Structure 1
Amino acid sequence: MLRSYVTIGWRNILKYKTFSFINVFGLAIAMSVCMLIMLMLADHKRYDQFHEKKDRIYRILSDRPGSKAPSATTPSPLANALKTDYPVVEESTQLRRGVGGDLLYNGTTVEARGYFVDASFFNVFSYDVTGGNVQRMLATPNTMVISTALAQQLFNGAEPVGKIVDLNNRGLSMLGDGEPGIAVPWGSYTITGVVKDKGHRSHLKFDVLLSAASLPALYAAGKIGDNSNDWVHDFSVYTYAVTADGKTEEELTAALQDIVTRRYAGQEDMKGFALTQQQLTAITPGILVSNAPGYTLPLMAYYFLSLLALIIMVSACLNYTNLSTARALTRMKEIGVRKVTGAHRKNLILQFLSESMLTSLMALGMALILLVIIKPAFLGLWVNRYLDFSLHANSNVYLMFIGFSLVIGLMAGLYPALHLSKYQPARALKNLDTLRPGKLGVRRVLSVSQFVVSLFFITTVVLIYNQFRHYLDFEYGFNAKNVVNISLQGNDHRRVIHEFLTVSGVASVSASDIIPATNVQNGVSLRVAGSDVEYTRFGVLLTDDHFLGNLGLSLVAGENMNVSGDSTSRFVLVNEAAVHALGYAHAPDIVGEMLQSKGGTEEFTVVGVTKDFQHTALVNEDGVSPMVLRYQPESFGYVSVRMVSDNAAGTLLQLENRWKAIDPVNPFRYDFYEDQLDAMYRGFFDVVTILGFIAFLAVVIACLGLLGMAMYITERRRKEVGIRKILGANDSSIALLLSKSFFKVLGVAICIGGPLSYFINNLWLQSLPNRVGFGLGTVLIAISTLLVLGLVTVGTQTLRASRSNPVQTLKMD
């Protein structure tokens, strides 16, 4: 019986080739998007699956009241307190941030990032480590474990275990090149093991692990701050706990709540502070957290992408339902004959469902081909350099694809199967013209829904693209043209500036700790000394006295900072926004005033006021916020070089030669300032690309459905067209007659979709800092695009029908 269903279904698919292609292609392009998201999710679900105790390992999170998301970091003493005082915890470990610098061995230097970890690290995590007793590898001071990739770079295939390397730490961030400072020698370390970094995926990425037993010596030397007993600050360590066998997650929750109650009782500043747990396998993908050790796509992003894919998939299924139901008239006699010869309704339902599933399986084959095409495009997105998707499929994934395809076939074919199988034999065998549906109400509703969705997607894409262009064309208030930012990598900024100024194509050079208007921002809370007003949050930029001139900024009051003398860090500049935030009407009024930091730890004297400029990333805040500029040369991480030569490549080559004379070890690293500012918003371009692709698919599917309906309607009315032409009707009037119902569909879709698109898009736009204007023009562009595509789709069929030969159309079937 099943073989018969498949055979008949295949014959029907071949009989109605155009309708079958529309259904298969529409389902295929929707399924390819869904399968891509399934691959992404399966890829991220592979993270941290190799740890033996994965079901009992939890990361502890800190949550402060008012924070947008919990933090992945915790107070430093937490790990020891959990293991010592609470039976629910079998083992715990912590990773201290801040390891990032240069490893030196026999004249070879390699940049490395990692953590301080205690000896229990490998009792918690099941990394594949070679080199000896894993329990003792990190038990003694000045020992380290490195990754296989780092071992290859540093030793080029030679045995690394037992080798002694020197470490100069520069405070490099685990998330990139950011936060480079002066190189501080941390001493010599013996390599005791090598972690294999292939064959598994972990949310923790590192080049090197230093023994936590090395910290006391660094504390004593003043090279790193001692926060081992600090229960207040929660920004420097990651804490992981393994629950004991038989213990529950609820017991761990109770233990964390008990710690909060005992440690923070009566501390007003810590009121509302909470500690929570997150299972290791729920980290990737998981909830959005701050201070995470790496980049990952949060679970909410998957929900959003899945919603978009579901909309596209439902639209494709509606096409199948719509066209199959419309085609019911041509299959009435088949249904009648089957019922007269003894077929029951369930037999007809199974027949039609087998056809829909066969169509879905054909769509799966086409979707796999489309997936091969779109995968490289997705992997080539800029954002993937941080998310690190591989999108490898395995047998389980392919089985999931097949199951998904069958479910889609069932969903798409269920309504047509129930609808077609309900006709009675006598009615089904009557003249087909008596069964012609009237206003096609249900199918018009489905078509309108598809075009409403399409209009929404087009409007959203146009708006996000306009926002992207707005960011690229934004006036920051300083001149970034022809400026190259060069990482100092621990070198003395004075020497670097002196050498660079000897290059003929260089006009000026300045130094700073961060690059303004990028995604790194430091802050401090200040108020006028002696006042009792609330503290105001200021951005902080550490720079020298050449910064203003180098970026084309000007003073509006006072004088530039003085960088000579022992107390120069006390004399600061503020911007115009700071003048108003502190309650002064005019910029000169604040010159000479004393500012006090929160807690009274520092005081600053304002010597000048600079013109406002955008010093934070555009996506972080709307407008210019208060900021303070001060001189603190030990924190400088970059020099900014303004070039005047037309030969930028030649000037850069000279700068590189000067750099090699200063630092023959570290490579010359530079970025054009304009490129850095543009790079901040490449993620927006990726969003435009992804949503643009989704919008394209939505429109294609909607137009395919419209095309199928147009072909069906023109085919059913071909005799009417022939009679009208014989009676004198011209081509244009016939084309208009055939198109009228479709114009109504597009008109209703625009009336619903236009206001809906504006309302929904305006909701998220209002929460975005430095937003672009959103008015009727953007919606009109989307409406015009949809109208053109809809009219072209319908017009091809109605014009062809209106120009047909009436003699041929009036022939008997």
Structure 2
Amino acid sequence: MKRTDQSPPRSFLRFFRWFCHPELRNYIEGDLVELYRERLMTSGKRKADWQFVFDVVLLFRPSIIRPMQPSHSFNQFTMFRNYFKVGVRNILKYKVFSFINVFGLAVAMSLCMLIVLMLAEQKSYDQFHEKKERIYRILSDREHSKAPSATTPFPLPMALITNYPAVEEVTQLTRGVGGDATYNQRVVQMRGYFADASFFRVFGYALAKGNKNVALSAPNSMVITAAYARQLFGDDDPVGKTVDFTNRGLPNVGDGEGGEATPWGSFTVTGVIADVPYKSHLKFDVLVSSSSMKVLYDSKKLADLRDDWKFNYSSYTYVVLAANKSAEDLEAALTDLTWRKKENLDGLKGFKLSAQKLTGITPGILVSNEPTQRLPMMVYYFLWFLAAVVMISACLNYTNLSTARALSRAKEIGVRKVTGAYRSNLVYQFLSESVLTALLALVLATLLIVFMRPAVTGLWINQYLNFDLQGNVPVYLVFVAFALFVGMLAGIYPALHLSKAQPVKALKNSEGSRSGKMGLRKVLSVSQFVISLFFITTAILIYNQFRHYLEFEYGFSAENVVNIPLQGNDHHKVANAFAMVPGVVDVSASDIVPSTGTENGMSIRIAGTEDEYKKFGVLQTDEHFTGNLGISIVAGENLPAEDTAAGDFILVNEAAVKALGYTNPNEMVGQVLDPGWGGSTLRVIGVIKDFRFTTPANGDGIGPLAIRNNPSSFSFVNVKIAQGDLSGTVQQLEKAWKRVDPVHAFKYEFYDDQLASVYRGFLDVVTILGFIAFLAIVIACLGLLGMTTYAAETRKKEVGIRKVLGAGDLGIALLLSRTFLKILAIAIFIGAPLSYAVNNLWLQKLPNRVDFGFGTVFVSVLILLALGLLTIGSQTLRASRSNPVKVLKSDG
């Protein structure tokens, strides 16, 4: 009945009728309704409704509540115990179907659980800080930048703490600390930051030795980790001891080798960070007091950025929000600050600052200049999407096989309904079976995780992400809840579908009731194979792209070239020592290794013009570099040998000639260029042939490039080795290295291997997608196996009669396979164009992409067909070869 405006709130009236004692209900309800109508007339409907609700709540007391029935809970327990027993019996009775369901769900659940472990581990970062809920990292952004930057201008902390009460505390970490610490002829390589005295007031790192209130106050003081304290001092107390530090500009992220070694002087160890496995987005071996920077400024060993608001690439800023302030107050302060700076300073167009919560950094949004490598949240969204697709496919298997078994369970359903079972009882029965199946799958999935974990932690990319994938109690509780959810999700449709059967029709159990068309089951099976075909196509395509990058033509000769980090040594000494080694063809030097992921740039225009600056790539090399890598000079001459004027000459590539508006390389020779940094002008001495100096995944074309002879920036020597005994020559190079530098270990990489290693991440993606494709096709084939097994079982009498009448094995196999072959055909018809279209979308955005046509899709189709036909044929051929006498005798 439709509720009128004169009626009290219906939900609370029902609640009252449910809990009130039957003997009191009519009397109390009459008084409640009468009182409600009086209030309706005097106070209005809104107030009357609220007072009615209040009255109902007050009436909910022991003297009015209906008496509890002690036997009810016992009956409930007995009922659920019965559900459990029947569920176990059905699982054991239909062993093949149960195995397919349990194994399929376990495989899919293990993938989901693996992602949960990854996400849980990432969420555990930065949880040890006492003020974690009030700590924010400040991000900066500039116009046209692809992502915000984790670094900020150097003067920012002072401006925040001085002018904005929303900030209780602020600390700053400045990059650039990375080199060799020496104590009693013991040398240890350390990387870290300049940190101010407020570092330990913001973050929760504990000191095993030293006073954290003053540890970073005095100039030329440093705090080191316990692991590095043991390396330098052994069992001695490090506090108060002095080390000599030579900085090489080693980066905090990655394996970069820095540049020229610069002695920074002596530093006193004032603290040792406790040897606790801190999980933090910050990784460091040493913290040098920020007050030490003034000495380095004065000695010109460090760039002075104290008043530079335009340079925002070297410092990280963290603030503690005042206890009575909100994140909105901090954002308002940052907005006000940027507005004031843009008003007073040129060159800050589009510049803005924003706040990022400390606990939201890992994982979080995609940010540039991160202090450590990590997976952004969007990667987890993508992984969740893939896992959800596989999980849904496994649930479809359960739904498919359960509805297919409706005929075999028809008598059970009919008997239960005739003996008084309600539909809700049957729904609970079937849901209990699906939940039980999911819990069994959870046990198997946990075992699968044990084998999958080493494969994930062994991926190349994990050396940067540091996953250990160890679970804890909350994670295991999530697993159990997830299994219950999967059981409900997989079983809800079969439960509703099977429980709606009418008793009379169910008890007839006629063969004619079996539909000739598969309907929903066909749609579910087709969906699974469409998904499988898509994953197979994607995995093959990414593998082809990986191979394409490995075989890419860079335009220079990397064969038999060994790149050796200088580790702060003078490149002349190292080059001269290597040149004396038999088997060495040539030796050159450079600041970076081209095409391996590290890139430097600058802005250039023709001097004396008002043209816009063009963005150039920059290589710092000696005069031997182009010849060593087989890069030809098309106009002019090579860089001059090192002297006082060598740095004023540059080589440019053919792309630079076009970028600056020239058509003939000879016209470029002699031109004077204006570098955007405001330094001295550069004269073009020659033009080289274009070669790939960035990774092929970075862009389609070859950009403008300038090469300059600047020895102070050299970090590598490039040694060309003659064909022959490569390992023997490398051993001789190591001996020569030890004569020049007996302290640092000899490190080297063949250039070919370095170019290939750039795409190890690609190989990881191929591995992950290939594994997911394998899971998807296994689950789909398991479902098909179950369907064909069931079809063969239900039609065994028909097969026996046909064989008695003379039908051949092949004909019967084709008859049983017809429906499933149609499923494969429809899946290919839908999945092939879909796989091509979707994969082509992302491929078009990839630089230097591989050719992608229907040939790749055709290979995927063949793989799908082979697996599908193998699955179908294994059961239909077995059924067709059965003995008709035994079949008909057992059926009778």
TM interval, shorter chain, is over 0.9
In the TM superposition, residue 504 of structure 1 has moved relative to its aligned partner by 0.7
Whether the 8 Å contact between 2:410 and 2:509 is mirrored in structure 1 is no
SS at match of 2:385: helix
Asked whether 1:18 is paired with 2:87, we answer no
1:617 to 684, 691, 695: 695
| Stretch of structure 1 that moved more, 372-381 or 592-601 | 592-601
SS at match of 2:175: strand
The whole-number CA distance in structure 1 between the counterparts of 2:396 and 2:274 is: 50
| Stretch of structure 1 that moved more, 331-340 or 648-657 | 648-657
Amino acid at match of 1:684: F
Whether the 8 Å contact between 2:599 and 2:694 is mirrored in structure 1 is yes
How far does the alpha carbon of each residue in 1:208-230 deviate from its partner, in whole angstroms, 9 at most, with x for none?
00000111111000000111111
The whole-number CA distance in structure 1 between the counterparts of 2:181 and 2:678 is: 39
2:160 to 68, 82, 85: 82
Whether the 8 Å contact between 1:645 and 1:651 is mirrored in structure 2 is no
RCO comparison, higher one (Cα < 8 Å, 6+)? 1
Counterpart residue number, 1:595: 673
Amino acid at match of 2:604: L
In the TM superposition, residue 645 of structure 1 has moved relative to its aligned partner by 5.2
2:719 to 641, 644, 649: 641
How far does the alpha carbon of each residue in 1:355-375 deviate from its partner, in whole angstroms, 9 at most, with x for none?
111111111111111110010
In the TM superposition, residue 272 of structure 1 has moved relative to its aligned partner by 1.8
The whole-number CA distance in structure 2 between the counterparts of 1:727 and 1:267 is: 97
Asked whether 1:423 is paired with 2:494, we answer no
How far does the alpha carbon of each residue in 1:725-751 deviate from its partner, in whole angstroms, 9 at most, with x for none?
222221212111111111111111111
1:213 to 281, 291, 294: 291
The whole-number CA distance in structure 2 between the counterparts of 1:197 and 1:254 is: 39
Amino acid at match of 2:246: N
SS at match of 1:269: coil
How far does the alpha carbon of each residue in 1:459-499 deviate from its partner, in whole angstroms, 9 at most, with x for none?
00000000000111111111111111010111111111111
- Counting only pairs closer than 5 Å after superposition, residues 707-722 of structure 1 correspond to structure 2 as 707-722=785-800
Asked whether 1:658 is paired with 2:658, we answer no
The whole-number CA distance in structure 2 between the counterparts of 1:484 and 1:41 is: 39
The whole-number CA distance in structure 2 between the counterparts of 1:76 and 1:82 is: 12
Counterpart residue number, 2:44: none
Asked whether 1:695 is paired with 2:773, we answer yes
The two structures have a TM-score, normalised by structure 2, of: 0.90
The whole-number CA distance in structure 2 between the counterparts of 1:246 and 1:502 is: 70
Counterpart residue number, 1:154: 232
The whole-number CA distance in structure 2 between the counterparts of 1:107 and 1:177 is: 25
1:382 to 460, 477, 487: 460
SS at match of 1:130: strand
- Counting only pairs closer than 5 Å after superposition, residues 716-795 of structure 1 correspond to structure 2 as 716-795=794-873
Whether the 8 Å contact between 2:105 and 2:395 is mirrored in structure 1 is yes
2:219 to 130, 134, 141: 141
Whether the 8 Å contact between 1:101 and 1:170 is mirrored in structure 2 is yes
Asked whether 1:63 is paired with 2:175, we answer no
Asked whether 1:484 is paired with 2:531, we answer no
The whole-number CA distance in structure 1 between the counterparts of 2:662 and 2:426 is: 83
2:878 to 800, 805, 813: 800
1:118 to 190, 196, 204: 196
Amino acid at match of 1:144: M
| Stretch of structure 1 that moved more, 12-21 or 666-675 | 666-675
SS at match of 2:619: strand
Asked whether 1:183 is paired with 2:271, we answer no
* CA RMSD between the two structures: 1.2
Amino acid at match of 2:380: Y
Counterpart residue number, 2:784: 706
How far does the alpha carbon of each residue in 1:539-579 deviate from its partner, in whole angstroms, 9 at most, with x for none?
10010110111111111111111124321111111111112
Asked whether 1:169 is paired with 2:247, we answer yes
- Counting only pairs closer than 5 Å after superposition, residues 475-514 of structure 1 correspond to structure 2 as 475-514=553-592
Amino acid at match of 2:258: P
Asked whether 1:455 is paired with 2:533, we answer yes
The whole-number CA distance in structure 2 between the counterparts of 1:50 and 1:485 is: 41
Counterpart residue number, 1:47: 125
Whether the 8 Å contact between 2:143 and 2:351 is mirrored in structure 1 is yes
Amino acid at match of 1:199: P
Counterpart residue number, 2:627: 549
In the TM superposition, residue 773 of structure 1 has moved relative to its aligned partner by 0.7
Change (3 A) 1:386 1:585: same
1:236 to 300, 308, 314: 314
How far does the alpha carbon of each residue in 1:763-807 deviate from its partner, in whole angstroms, 9 at most, with x for none?
111111111111111111111110111111001111111112222
Whether the 8 Å contact between 1:506 and 1:645 is mirrored in structure 2 is no
The whole-number CA distance in structure 2 between the counterparts of 1:645 and 1:802 is: 64
SS at match of 1:511: strand
Amino acid at match of 2:509: N
Counterpart residue number, 2:611: 533
Counterpart residue number, 1:259: 337
Whether the 8 Å contact between 1:180 and 1:487 is mirrored in structure 2 is no
Asked whether 1:298 is paired with 2:371, we answer no
SS at match of 2:86: helix
Whether the 8 Å contact between 1:180 and 1:488 is mirrored in structure 2 is no
The whole-number CA distance in structure 1 between the counterparts of 2:257 and 2:453 is: 34
Asked whether 1:437 is paired with 2:489, we answer no
SS at match of 1:328: coil
In the TM superposition, residue 534 of structure 1 has moved relative to its aligned partner by 2.4
Asked whether 1:630 is paired with 2:728, we answer no
The two structures have a TM-score, normalised by structure 1, of: 0.99
How far does the alpha carbon of each residue in 1:217-262 deviate from its partner, in whole angstroms, 9 at most, with x for none?
1100000011111111110100000001121000001000000111
SS at match of 1:572: strand
2:595 to 517, 528, 535: 517
Unaligned runs of 5+ in 1: none
Counterpart residue number, 2:325: 247
The whole-number CA distance in structure 1 between the counterparts of 2:156 and 2:664 is: 49
Change (3 A) 1:507 1:599: closer
SS at match of 2:696: coil
In the TM superposition, residue 48 of structure 1 has moved relative to its aligned partner by 0.4
The whole-number CA distance in structure 2 between the counterparts of 1:307 and 1:114 is: 37
1:308 to 386, 400, 419: 386
| Stretch of structure 1 that moved more, 353-362 or 435-444 | 435-444
Whether the 8 Å contact between 1:574 and 1:628 is mirrored in structure 2 is yes
| Stretch of structure 1 that moved more, 400-409 or 267-276 | 267-276
SS at match of 2:363: coil
In the TM superposition, residue 599 of structure 1 has moved relative to its aligned partner by 5.9
Counterpart residue number, 2:69: none
Whether the 8 Å contact between 2:147 and 2:367 is mirrored in structure 1 is yes
Whether the 8 Å contact between 2:657 and 2:664 is mirrored in structure 1 is yes
The whole-number CA distance in structure 2 between the counterparts of 1:296 and 1:114 is: 18
| Stretch of structure 1 that moved more, 751-760 or 525-534 | 525-534
Counterpart residue number, 1:29: 107
The whole-number CA distance in structure 1 between the counterparts of 2:749 and 2:296 is: 33
SS at match of 2:210: coil
In the TM superposition, residue 266 of structure 1 has moved relative to its aligned partner by 6.2
SS at match of 1:415: helix
The whole-number CA distance in structure 1 between the counterparts of 2:642 and 2:382 is: 55
Q: Aligned pair count?
A: 813
- Counting only pairs closer than 5 Å after superposition, residues 95-134 of structure 1 correspond to structure 2 as 95-134=173-212
In the TM superposition, residue 435 of structure 1 has moved relative to its aligned partner by 2.1
The whole-number CA distance in structure 2 between the counterparts of 1:789 and 1:288 is: 40
Counterpart residue number, 2:683: 605
2:430 to 338, 344, 352: 352
Amino acid at match of 1:101: G
Amino acid at match of 1:421: S
Asked whether 1:223 is paired with 2:296, we answer no
Amino acid at match of 2:594: P
SS at match of 2:189: strand
Counterpart residue number, 2:22: none
The whole-number CA distance in structure 2 between the counterparts of 1:72 and 1:737 is: 65
Whether the 8 Å contact between 2:603 and 2:677 is mirrored in structure 1 is no
The whole-number CA distance in structure 2 between the counterparts of 1:434 and 1:629 is: 83
How far does the alpha carbon of each residue in 1:572-618 deviate from its partner, in whole angstroms, 9 at most, with x for none?
11111112222222221211111222265332111111111110111
